[in-house]
Amino acid sequence: MLKDKVKTLLNNALSLDKSLFLIDFTMGADNSINVVLDGDQGVSVQDCMKVSRAIEHNLDREVEDFSLTVTSAGAASPMVNPRQYKKNVGRKVKVLTSEDIYEGNLTSAHENGIVLEWKAREPKPIGKGKTTVQKKKEITFSDIKEAKVILKF
């Protein structure tokens, strides 16, 4: 079956560069193959070309007609793989959980989740006015519905 062969070729290509990892792999009924990659140091055009060639050069268009697209995860795409969190430590992120939305600096990513830190203005415990306090929140991967890096322009 073509899908199984493509999956094997894709896994072989990714095993040659351990910094790259798979975000999404889909194959339509019309044999349109879509691969989305990310990498610990990002993904270059050359990385996409290497993976594309590793797949395309090992398939015979005379036997199966197909289209192949290999892309990198976009900067505004949600993070779906724990490795994406690790590579974005130090960046500002927006995290949606079932209870709330958090925006803060991603200070760490570990095997079970992430740690966000941010500053907030809160009423003073005594007297009038507000004071700035440092907030910290640990969020497990299972609680995250969506997380995106906040891009600054």
Q: Is the pLDDT of residue 37 over 90?
A: yes
Reported CATH class of domain 2-72: alpha beta
Mean pLDDT of 44-66: 93
Give the number of other Cβ atoms within 10 Å of residue 148's Cβ: 15
Here the tokens at position 145 are 């519905």
Q: Distance (Å, rounded) from C-alpha 24 to C-alpha 31? A: 16
Q: Cβ distance 117 to 135 under 8 Å?
A: yes
The highest-level CATH class for domain 82-149 is mainly beta
CA angle 38, 146, 3 (to 5 degrees): 45
pLDDT, position 62? 86
Read off the pTM: 0.81
What ranges do the domains of the chain cover? 2-72, 82-149
pLDDT at 137: 96
Residue-wise pLDDT for 18-34, tens only, equals: 999 999 999 999 999 99
C-alpha distances in Å from residue 119, one per residue of 11, 33, 103: 42, 44, 10
HSE toward the beta carbon, residue 102, CA cutoff 13 A: 23
Strands 92-97 and 144-149, bridge-based pairing: antiparallel
39-54 core/surface letters (b: 16 or more CB in 10 A; e: else): beeebeeebbebbbeb
Residue 117: how many CA atoms within 13 Å on its side-chain side?
Answer: 8
